Amino acid sequence: MVVSSKPILENSSHIKTCKPHVSDDHFSIDIPVIDMLDPQAKFHITKACQEFGFFKVVNHDVPKETITKLEGEAVKFFDLPQCEKDKAGPANPFGYGNKRIGTNGDVGWIEYLLFSTNSELISEKSVNIPGNSHLFWCAVNEYVSGVRNIACLVLEMIAEGLKIEPKNVLSKLLRDQKSDSCFRLNHYRPCTQLEALSGGRNLIGFGEHTDPQVISVLRSNNTTGLQICLKDGTWVSVPPDHYSFFIIVGDSLQVMTNGRFWSVRHRVLANSLKSRLSMIYFGGPPLSAKIAPLSSLMEAGEESLYEEFTWGEYKKSAYLTRLGDNRLGLFEKKIKIRQYGHNLLI
Ligand code: GA4
């Protein structure tokens, strides 16, 4: 993918574009869809995590009202005048952010709210939402509790699918009172001058990246934009589905499965006509948790592909990187060969 860092219009240094990919219009793959009520779901999930690092979940038990309530509150917030929204910022890293992503110069056609969330309630004091924010926080907490449950259920099914004990070995990281998870509301305004601005190129809403955490749960309204990168490097568009959730394997889960699962690169392209609103829960472990391959998963003679680190160390290093960097690369052991179906180090 070619990303241009050259401003296309004067005073538009925040705009990044990429070449339209042949797959944008002509090619789409069948994203795995997991029915949470299917008795075989754990095997389908495991396969999807290995092949795509990504899948869609249907027949979950988060009520539609929980979703629509938060969607309504988020729309209300993003509809506020700019000076009101700015009261909830800047995002360092938590709060309201506009165009800037992180602290290392990444930009996108986006505005967002980012909160920290452990297993307890998200504190009303964590970010200053203007006006009577009680309804907003109730909606966020109800939603986060629902998607955390989905993330934990998926992690338990993964443990079962991989035949690792105990079943809650992964989910307990997210349920821990000190879990370092976060939650993000992203708003991509329609870019009406898209054609003129980008000269046929696509405008980047949120640049390509992998999620550093264990697992992420994403949903959006019915506006397109999300793309994932397949293992062969092809970008494919993911059709939106406003009452389903998309599960994204994060870097930490790739490490804990010693590379069996795939932390998928993804990005969001701006839309010229419709605004896109997405909400993502990033399930992270406590800062002190060791991120290393699960011993019960390792085959005889199999070595870890990664140096040992804690989530706190990885997070610190991640925050020094640019969005699109290969963060895990810094922690990969240098020399490895593949033999007998598993990894050996020399
Ligand atoms: C990517 C996934 C999550 O959105 C996020 C992002 C975080 C941020 O927006 O502050 C980071 C990015 C994300 C990884 C590298 C660093 C940190 C921006 C950035 C350039 C909240 C997260 O945890 O990591």
- Which pLDDT score, from 0 to 100, does residue 131 have? 87
Q: Which residue is closest in CA terms to ligand 1's atom 1?
A: 211
Any idea which of 105-119, 191-205, 318-332 has the lowest mean pLDDT? 191-205
pLDDT band at 251 (very low <50, low <70, confident <90, very high): very high
Instruction: Write down the pLDDT at residue 242.
Output: 94
Give the model's pLDDT for residue 196.
64
212 in contact with ligand 1, CB cutoff 6 A:
yes
Query: What pLDDT is attached to residue 185?
Result: 98
Domain segments of the chain as ranges: 28-330
Verify whether ligand 1 is closer than 6 Å to residue 102 (CB atom).
yes
pTM of the model: 0.92
97 lines ligand 1 (CB under 6 A): no
10 pLDDT exceeds 60?
A: no
Distance CA 186, CA 270 (A): 12
How many A from CA of 324 to the centre of ligand 1?
10
Q: What is the pLDDT of residue 25?
A: 46
Provide φ and ψ at 231, rounded to 5°.
-60, -25
Q: Is 337's pLDDT higher than 60?
A: no
Whole-number Å distance, alpha carbon 102 to ligand 1 midpoint, is 6
Nearest of 284, 287, 315, 311 to residue 174 by alpha carbon: 284
pLDDT at 297: 96
**Residues 283-309 pLDDT 10s:** 999 999 999 999 999 999 999 999 999
Q: Is 318 in the pocket of ligand 1 (CB under 6 A)?
A: yes
| Whether pLDDT at 273 is above 50 | yes
Q: What digits encode the pLDDT tens for the residues 306-321?
A: 999 999 999 999 999 9
- Tell me what pLDDT residue 336 has: 58
What pLDDT shows up at residue 192?
79
The residue type at 179: S
Per-residue confidence band for 335, with pLDDT thresholds at 50, 70 and 90: low
For residue 94, report the distance from its CA to the centre of ligand 1, in Å: 11
User: pLDDT value at position 11?
Assistant: 44
For residue 53, what pLDDT is reported? 98
- Ligand 1 atom with the shortest distance to the CA of 206: 4
Does residue 322 have an active-site annotation?
A: no
Query: pLDDT category, 6, cuts 50, 70, 90?
Result: very low
Q: Give the DSSP H or E segment for 339.
A: strand 336-339
Test site for ligand 1: of 99, 209, 215, most ligand atoms within 8 A of the Cβ: 209
Task: Among 180, 323, 325, 326, name the best residue to mutate to test ligand 1's pocket (greatest count of ligand atoms within 8 A of Cβ).
Answer: 323
For the cut 60, the answer to whether the pLDDT of residue 12 exceeds it is: no
Q: Which of 100, 184, 265, 276 is catalytic?
A: 276
Residue 72 structure tokens: 């309504």
Amino acid at 55: F
Helix boundaries (H) for the chain: 23-26, 41-51, 64-78, 82-86, 134-161, 171-175, 194-198, 251-256, 311-318
Nearest CA to ligand 1 atom 12: 323
- Tokens 């599960």 -> residue: 247
pLDDT tens digit sequence for 69-107: 999 999 999 999 999 999 999 999 999 999 999 999 999
The protein residue with its alpha carbon nearest to ligand 1, atom 6, reads: 102
Give me Rg for the CA atoms of the chain: 20
Q: Name the residue of 16, 184, 264, 282 whose CB sits within 8 Å of the most ligand 1 atoms, as the mutation to test its pocket.
A: 282
- Is the CB of residue 20 less than 8 Å from the CB of residue 202? yes
**What local confidence, expressed as pLDDT, does residue 216 receive?**
99
Percent of all residues in the chain with a pLDDT value above 90, rounded to a whole number: 79
Q: Specify the residue for token string 């259920």.
A: 153
Rounded CA gap, 32 and 228, in Å? 13
How much is the pLDDT for 166? 94
Instruction: Look at strands 336-339 and 342-345 and give their pairing.
Output: antiparallel
CA torsion angle 193 274 151 183 (round to 10): 60
CATH for 28-330 (3.90.1150.10, 3.30.565.10, 2.60.120.330, 1.10.230.10): 2.60.120.330
The whole-angstrom separation of Cα 115 and Cα 118 is: 10
Closest residue CA from atom 23 of ligand 1: 212
Q: How far apart are the first and last CA of the chain?
A: 33
For 214-242, the pLDDT digits (tens) are 999 999 999 999 999 999 999 999 999 99
The alpha carbon of 281 and the centre of ligand 1 are apart by a number of angstroms equal to: 12
**pLDDT, tens digit, for every residue of 110-145?**
999 999 998 877 777 789 999 889 999 999 999 999
